[in-house]
């Protein structure tokens, strides 16, 4: 009886340890690899927009660079500035790879975010940050291509299609997309990703020059 009990205890312990190891291995497995396979053809796409200097920019102009693409709007009270600061800090951590990386802020609010407005806005963040705007149609297409959600809401967070004033907010998804030099989707970072997480991923993916 006693030996049986010990045997059962040892077995339970081994089983528990195996489960723990398996969970640990799952956690360690790079998530971007799983995302990569699933999302390569699904996220991103061609665009022709206007940058903060009024210059036309297409996706192909950025080929050869790793892109950090963020969709937001310059009137955003908190989420966008937080994320753009985070992206800027992550870029400061990968100075040896900075020539390979282009951070891009694409507005989801092109009606208020003119090139001039964006010029002023992006200057608050990283010197390499480019702001892009375009027609409502262009932006709508790109939102679909990146599966980005963004709608006009009033001060109570209620959707409002035609606000009476310019005093509206945009409820929008806050991912940062990492695109490869061929324009292909590599992975995205959630709002919870820290500057360190972004920097470490960039270090893993981008070779030093
Ligand atoms: Ni925002």
Q: Are 168 and 160 in contact (CB under 8 A)?
A: yes
Q: Are 51 and 40 in contact (CB under 8 A)?
A: no
Token digits for 63? 């080929």
Residue 144 CA to ligand 1 center (angstroms) comes to 17
Residue 157 CA to ligand 1 center (angstroms) comes to 13
**Domain 48-205: what homologous superfamily?**
Glutaredoxin (3.40.30.10)
Q: Are 41 and 81 in contact (CB under 8 A)?
A: no
Alpha carbons 209 and 206: distance in angstroms, whole number = 9
Structural domain boundaries in the chain = 1-41, 48-205
In this structure, what are the phi and psi dihedrals at residue 181, rounded to the nearest 5 degrees? Answer: -60, -15
pLDDT of residue 45: 94
pLDDT of residue 63: 96
Alpha carbons 20 and 134: distance in angstroms, whole number = 50
Residue 79 CA to ligand 1 center (angstroms) comes to 4
Residue 55 CA to ligand 1 center (angstroms) comes to 24
Alpha carbons 146 and 192: distance in angstroms, whole number = 19
Residues with CB under 5 A from ligand 1 (ion): 72, 76, 79-80
Task: Label residue 30 left, alpha or beta by phi (over 0 means left) and psi (-120 to 50 means alpha).
Answer: beta
Among 46, 69, 37, smallest CA distance to 188 is for 69
**Which segments of the chain have a pLDDT < 70?**
1-3, 6-11, 13-41, 209
Residue 175 CA to ligand 1 center (angstroms) comes to 10
pLDDT of residue 32: 45
pLDDT of residue 184: 95
Alpha carbons 72 and 135: distance in angstroms, whole number = 15
Of all residues in the chain, the percent with pLDDT exceeding 70 is: 81
SS3 for 102?
strand
Element (H, E) at 67: strand 66-72
Residue 207 CA to ligand 1 center (angstroms) comes to 31
Residue 124 CA to ligand 1 center (angstroms) comes to 15
Residue 83 CA to ligand 1 center (angstroms) comes to 8
Residue 172 CA to ligand 1 center (angstroms) comes to 6
Question: Per residue in 26-36, pLDDT tens?
Answer: 554 444 444 44
Alpha carbons 116 and 129: distance in angstroms, whole number = 15
Question: Per residue in 32-50, pLDDT tens?
Answer: 444 444 445 589 999 999 9
């Amino acid at each position: 009886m006693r030996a049986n009990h010990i045997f059962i205890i040892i077995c339970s312990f081994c089983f528990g340890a195996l489960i723990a190891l398996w969970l640990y291995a799952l956690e360690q497995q790079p998530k971007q690899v799983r995302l990569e396979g699933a999302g390569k053809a699904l996220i991103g796409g061609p665009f022709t927009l206007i940058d903060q200097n009024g210059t036309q920019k297409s996706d192909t102009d950025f080929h050869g660079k790793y892109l950090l693409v963020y969709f937001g709007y310059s009137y955003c009270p908190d989420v966008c500035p937080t994320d753009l600061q985070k992206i800027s800090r992550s870029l400061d951590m990968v100075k040896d790879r900075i020539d390979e990386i282009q951070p891009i802020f694409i507005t989801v609010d092109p009606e208020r975010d003119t090139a001039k407005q964006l010029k002023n806005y992006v200057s608050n963040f990283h010197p390499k940050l480019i702001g892009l705007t375009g027609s409502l149609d262009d932006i709508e297409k790109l939102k679909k291509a990146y599966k980005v959600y963004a709608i006009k809401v009033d001060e109570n967070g209620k959707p409002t299609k035609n606000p009476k004033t310019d005093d509206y907010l945009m409820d929008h998804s806050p991912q940062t997309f990492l695109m490869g030099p061929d324009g292909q989707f590599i992975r995205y970072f959630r709002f919870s990703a820290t500057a360190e997480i972004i920097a470490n991923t960039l270090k893993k993916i981008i070779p030093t020059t």
